[in-house]
A and B are shown apart, each in its own frame.
Chain A
Amino acid sequence: MVEEGKLASDPDHLDDLTILRLTQEIKDVEASKNPLVGDFKPISVLLSEYKDATFRNKIKALGGGNAGYRPVRGDGNCAWRAFAFRYFELLSKLSKEEIEATSNGLQARTSLLDEAGYSDTGYIDFVEETFNLFQKLPDMTPEQVVTEFNNAEVSSAIIVHFRLLAAAYIKTHADDYIPFIDQGEGADIGEYCNRNIEAFSVEADHLALSALVNSMITVDLGVVYMDRSAGDEAVVHKFSPVESSAEGRPPSLKIDLLYRPGHYDIFYK
């Protein structure tokens, strides 16, 4: 018995597969308490979570009525998943032609990936998954989009696609971004993208969101910062694409995220 116990607790004796499985299981157990993309909740639910006056004031200021939020699992991909889900949820309410136009617009942006030096064999699987969803989208209800995004395979692939788009945008517009990159941790653009954007499960920062919006062209993003900072209203950061699509075709989408320190959810006004 002693011998066995020693084996089990000695990390050197666990093989790689077991270690991976155990880590993954622990993560999964935690995560499984929350779905990847949760159900819509009215703002009052959020209010009930906080006792602190600053938060309560800010939350109240967000508005009542139809306002609400949709929780997203906090696994390091939340901003990306929140963005991607909302993107498709909004699209699912549009006409077939509009969806097609958006799809074509996004398809055209795939060239960014090539310009940034990604090999097509590397990204094709993920990009395909996105356009698979586009294909199905005209016949889908918003509820089905929720189900689709709770399929890790689908949403992970789309997240990778979007991450790569954002990273590619930074790489191809290095001059615009280099001043913002923290000089202390290696000023290299490639290194930055690799660590902060391409790497899966690394949370999006301000730069990443800006690059994402710029790479998508058709999205205006607002992030509501729900923090302890002074004031009765939450600060809202707005991201708009530098380029804009011609004459509203494809249509512009307005996505709002709710930021609480360390985590993003989807915000509905």
Chain B
Amino acid sequence: MPQALLRSPGSTILAAAARLRQRNLLDRLLNWYIDSVRSHFALHGLRAIKSPDIPGIMSDPISIGNSVRRVLSTLCDALHHYMFPISFLYAENSNKEDMLARIRFRHSLNAMIDIALSDHEFQLMAHLLVEHQLAACGRNEEQQIVDREEDEPKRLAFLTGIRQQIDILGVQDRMERIVADVYHTFIPRYVSRQYARIWEQEERQESLMVELKDLIYGPISRCIATLIRRDELLEARLFELATESLVKLGIKEAFDMVIYFPDSIPALEYLKMCLRTQEHRAQLVTAFQNACHARLLHCGANTSDIISFYMSTIKVFRLLEPRGVLLDKVSRPIRRYLRDREDTVKCIVYGMLEVEDANTGDLSELGKELAAASGAQNADAVDDNDYFNMNWVPDPVDAAPDFRNKRSSDFIGSLLSLYDNKEVFVKEIVVVLANRLLELKNYEIDREMMHLELLKLLFGESDLHNSDVMVKDILESKRVDSNIHDPTTVAPGTYPVAGIVHASMLSRLFWPAFRDEDLVLPPVIEEQLNRYSAKFSILKSARKLTWLKRLGTVDVTLELEDRTLDFTVSPDRASMIYLFQDKPTYTLNELMARLNLDEAMTRRALGFWIKNDVLKEDETCKDKYILLERAEERKKKMLLDDAAESSVQTAEEKATEEMRIYWSYVNGMLTNIPALPIDRIQSFLKMLIPKEVGYSRSVDELRDFLTVMVAEEKLEFVSGSYRLKK
């Protein structure tokens, strides 16, 4: 209803009103009018403000703006209309009673408008409108500043229009609430969208703050101040919100910053500056731990990746907080997880010894660290008892009770402290070193000696005494070997040894357990070994060599009809291919018998030769193998796991063996004592297992083991105690 169509009431109506006023019945009229207005508004007004096509306009800022304006104008019109008769009934600036009546009417109108505006659709539109307006102040997704200078007056004019309508309708409070809602979500979202993953440039961090400040103190606060009543603290509050959002973003991204370390150092420096409150620190710890669980500590991640992530974590958190309290907290789940990984020790040891291995990944950083650490040991240690240290600060209040300040960025120390004792590492080192030494040709052990010296600094001389002997064995072997090959030392009854045969003499007691099954070598080689032994016995009177025929490497040249192939292989593989010299086909069983190998080893060796197109399995006869004198076209090949056969019992195998022993104890224990809690079992095992076997598992490891046994239905766990499952 356009305003012009409103007509003033006629004189009869005014007279009637005056009559009613005289008889004090005007109140009744007002009540009736209010009722009528309510039903009219409910019937027509609410329908009028409904937008015809809400979902359709949501994505279009201009339509939304227009819709909001339309709703507000409709309401303004309605307000005008409904107020119109009242201005005749109650004169303005008249007596007190009239004023109260006008106010009463106005209140009921306000209630109606408020109901109309609390409509869900309008709320949504209003939110979107404000959001679009705020978004228009900053950068859009294409990082373009949309708001060209000339645009702003236009937008502000539009907003001023809305503001006027709001003032007319008297719904400023509602608008303020909407605006506040919007900027509280908009600013963090804007910050995380605009500034996510910007870590590299130092200047960027600076300019970022300036830009943000400009934005907030400029267009955004202008925009907001147009819409709602101005508040002096608005800008400060908005800016606080923005910086807080930046910290939260940094906290959220800490995990990625660790991944991208050291490129993320500028961002970390900034984050360090912003981490002011305990709340932030707590959030950082929680967010980082959650990210670790979700993204790192699961079975899909390689142990080496976890370890190198852990090393970066150490660096990052040392940078964030040199005291190491945060580091201590965030690294706990990682450490706990690493402890449970079977190959952690192996990976660390491989890393320290700079062994490249497809399965353990590249952790050669550890090796470099080892070399570096030995040079500057304890250089940057913080000593709490150093009373002259003027830079001393107390541990932060959120330090865990068992927090101990460790040497900053000492990865190796941190990794070694994963386990209660260093023995697990020593065991693995001995195994790895033994493998390395056995793989050597030409007795060149400089690298191993260097590593060993470094490791000794770390683990102490005594624990690595065996390894010392191992290295000395190789040195001594070199000397003995050259003596044996020395043509001037021919003794009666011995024959010269072919120059291709070299041996390492091992002091059995000091090396890890070897697989000591025998292997049948080709007779020519056996003959050479016998000659070697004979000469050795003369050199070292009364000492006899026992050959470990499965160890070592053989350089093999295969001269086939159409090709010549060179390989360096283990003795079992060499012996196997040598057999094919006499006869082109063998069955699996024949090979096993001729070589004295078990089925698994035989198949593995066969797999190697098949993979290299030297042998193939007879298509017509299973487990029969044929020498390929002429290369065949590449066919679908059997891809057998070619993991280098380790010649020494690995720590893993040893652990399995140990677990078998522990299980028989647990079984015996629970056969005779019906139920035991875990700590009793632990102390039994600690006390009762002889030192030669040794028991060094932690309660957690034991619990894992018992849990497996429960899963295998060998044990049951009832009211805090384990018992045998019957």
**Chain A in direct contact with chain B (Cβ < 8 angstroms):** no
B residues adjacent to A (C-beta < 8 A): none
